[in-house]
Amino acid sequence: MGVSDETQLPVKWSDSQNIYWKTALPGAGASSPIVFAKRIYLTTYTGYFVPGESSGSREDLKRHLMAIDKETGKVEWTRDVAAKLPEEEKIRDHGFAANTPAADAEHIYVFFGKSGVYAFDHSGEQVWHAEVGDKTHGWGTSASPLLYGDLVIINASVESESLIALDRKTGKEKWRAGDIRESWNTPVLVKSADGREELVIAVQGKVLAFDPSTGSSLWSCNTDITWYMVPSIVAAEGIVYCLGGRSGVAALAVRTGGSGDVTKTHRLWTGMKGSNVTSPVSHNGYLYWVHEQRGIAYCANAATGEIVYEHALERDAQFYSSALLANGRIYYTSRTGRTWVIDAQPVFKQLALNEFEDRSQFNASAAVTDNRLLMRSDRFLYCIGK
């Protein structure tokens, strides 16, 4: 949901201020770091269309899973995964490692698109591999594994137009739902007002809800958004909020707990301001997000969709990472690595603007651990804190 309960995250930093450690990465990527126990796990890629390097060859394309000590930034191990060929000839903008890993006490789960889903144990040994489709796309693949019960749930819209649940221990397919089209977002788990658990995902033209245990359809809602869907849904108090599209309707709210087509009964509002890439955060009855191309920060009333403010952070700045909310502050990071820290109130107030000398791309959303921020670029993983 883009929300952390940490209360002492830094507000200001630079290359010489509040950098706890900084680790060089062996390759680029748009995936976010995750933390499990004393380690950080992160994916990168090398060999083909790495920003700042020659185009390379698809035969040399590899993905890498890294295990990093979260206290020191030291790389403990790296595992390489060769690409299943032929891969996409060229991925626009964000490359071949955009899917964030997931982890539990036994495994780290990584999704590499056409190359499949892999489970590694915490010593780096591969436990299983499962294929979820063989299609590719010029925008690549970006949805991340979601853990539920004994399942790993994968949005394989790009690879097979499917939502697929795999057994955590074996990788064996447990259920599959079809017709998942033009969807790059990670599905979310939401509890309806009556306590029912729902697996919710945005596809072209609709928001869909499934039983996460069986994959059976629960409800669908028309969005009136005519574009492909990239931002992930967020939820609060049994209501899901969805952004998407480049023109026309670009935001909506849907009450969970319905059955069948709930467009007329559970769709609460639609709005014309949204984002085609970044996901929002929900806080105290308001939604906050930044537009991916215009550099405009928005605040909307979550009950009505009414825009409370829209404030230009930087003209024509690009944002691919999603908002992070912690301790009443919102963090927005642009692709150039500039981070605006904004007061999470329905009146715009900028608290800080931070940047690095690193001129590579910052496409990943930040993670949080021990009152520190973890931010990755195509070149470095930064641990920001006192």
**Position 162 confidence tier, pLDDT thresholds 50, 70, 90:** very high
The answer to whether 87 touches 68, Cβ cutoff 8 Å, is no
Residue 297's pLDDT band (cuts 50, 70, 90)? very high
| Lookup: tokens for 208 | 């869909």
Contact 117, 154 (CB under 8 A): yes
pLDDT at 205 over 80: yes
What is the pLDDT at residue 375? 98
Spatial distance between the Cα atoms of 133 and 136, rounded to a whole number of angstroms: 9
Of the pLDDT bands very low, low, confident and very high (cuts 50, 70, 90), residue 316 is confident
pLDDT of 91 higher than 80: no
Nearest to 142 by CA among 121, 111, 174: 111
Each residue's pLDDT tens digit, 329-380: 999 999 999 999 999 999 999 999 999 999 899 999 999 999 999 999 999 9
The tokens of 64 are what?
Answer: 């890498």
Joined tokens for residue 43: 């994916």
> 240 forms bridges with which residues in the sheet?
235, 254
Rg (CA), the chain: 20
pLDDT in tens, 28-46: 999 999 999 999 999 999 9
- The span from the CA of 191 to the CA of 195, in Å, is 5
User: What's the pLDDT at 27?
Assistant: 94
The predicted pLDDT at position 53 comes to 85
**Residues 207, 253 contacting (CB under 8 angstroms):** no
Token pair 């809800």: residue: 209
Asked whether residue 232 carries a pLDDT value surpassing 80, the answer given is: yes
Lowest-confidence pick of 45-59, 131-145, 180-194: 45-59
What angle (nearest 5°) sits at the alpha carbon of residue 353, between those of residues 352 and 358? 145
pLDDT classification of 107: cutoffs 50, 70, 90 = very high
**pLDDT score for 127:** 98
90: confidence class by pLDDT, cuts 50, 70, 90: confident
Structure tokens given for 124: 């780096």
pLDDT more than 90, % of the chain: 95
Burial class of 63 by CB neighbour count within 10 A (0 to 12, 13 to 18, 19+)? buried
Please name every residue paired with 273 in a beta bridge, in sequence order, or none if there are none. Answer: none
Span 252-261, mean pLDDT?
98
pLDDT digits (tens, 9 = 90+) for 323-342: 999 999 999 999 999 999 99
Name residues whose C-beta falls within 8 Å of residue 77's C-beta, 6 or more positions apart in sequence.
66, 67, 123, 124
Write down the pTM of the prediction: 0.97
Task: Return the percentage of the chain with pLDDT > 70, whole number.
Answer: 100
Q: What is the mean pLDDT of the chain?
A: 96
- 54 confidence band (pLDDT: 50, 70, 90): confident
Q: Which one, of 134, 143, 211, 131, lies nearest residue 171 by Cα?
A: 131
- Provide the pLDDT for residue 94: 84
Question: Mean pLDDT across the stretch 231-239?
Answer: 97
Rounded average pLDDT over 84-112: 93
The whole-angstrom separation of Cα 325 and Cα 331 is 6
pLDDT for 217 equals 98
- Domains contained in the chain, CATH given: 31-141+143-183 (2.40.128.630)
DSSP assignment of 3-34, as one string? EE--S---S--BTTBSEEEEEE-SSB--PPPE
